[in-house]
Amino acid sequence: MDYESHLFLGGILGTIMILVMHHFYGWFESDLESIILMIIIVYIYSLLPDVDAKSSQIVWTFIPLGLLAITSGYLLKNDTYLVSGIALIAITFIAAQFMPHRGFTHSILFGLAVSLPWIYLSWNYSVLAFICFYSHLLGDEEYFKMV
């Protein structure tokens, strides 16, 4: 699948999950900040498995984000932004350069590992991130790939 199809599938499954869980269980706020965060999660996690492909949309999203974080960290004298930007660029470069396409980044285990950090904000976002990540695996017909 191309990145637009992955975004479409992730957007559909993510939106269904958000609406159903909000309606039945009260998950997810409907304020602007929460909506923007949900859109960012859907975008990133629907494309994240392709971080192992040099020409993927997510690689070309992460590189400018990393540069923006580095620049902001330098100008604002914020070490967290600076180190985060350097780490994002380094990890993206290593994954795109040295990992085989549809290798470990296209696995359920990797999806769980990259979705779990959202638990510190809210486990609802962690579940949303995994659903969107898994939508990518569904689109690539990697239904049960664990590692």
* pLDDT tier for residue 147 given thresholds of 50, 70 and 90: confident
State residue 13's pLDDT score.
98
**Are 45 and 110 members of one domain?**
yes
**Are 43 and 111 members of one domain?**
yes
**Are 41 and 78 members of one domain?**
no
Q: What is the mean pLDDT of residues 60-72?
A: 97
Total tally of structural domains belonging to the chain: 2
Q: Which segments within 10-141 are labelled E, that is strand?
A: none
**Are 124 and 140 members of one domain?**
yes
Say how far apart CA 70 and CA 146 lie, in whole Å. Answer: 34
Using alpha carbons, list the distances in angstroms from residue 36 to 7, 100, 126, 137: 16, 32, 15, 24
**Are 84 and 120 members of one domain?**
no
**Are 48 and 58 members of one domain?**
no
Instruction: For the chain, give the mean pLDDT.
Output: 96
Taken in order 110, 46, 11, 129, is the CA torsion positive or negative? positive
**Are 41 and 68 members of one domain?**
no
**Are 64 and 132 members of one domain?**
no
Q: What is the mean pLDDT of residues 33-43?
A: 97
Q: What is the mean pLDDT of residues 59-80?
A: 96
**Are 86 and 114 members of one domain?**
no
**Are 139 and 73 members of one domain?**
no
Range of the domain at 144: 1-53+104-147
Say how far apart CA 98 and CA 43 lie, in whole Å. Answer: 24
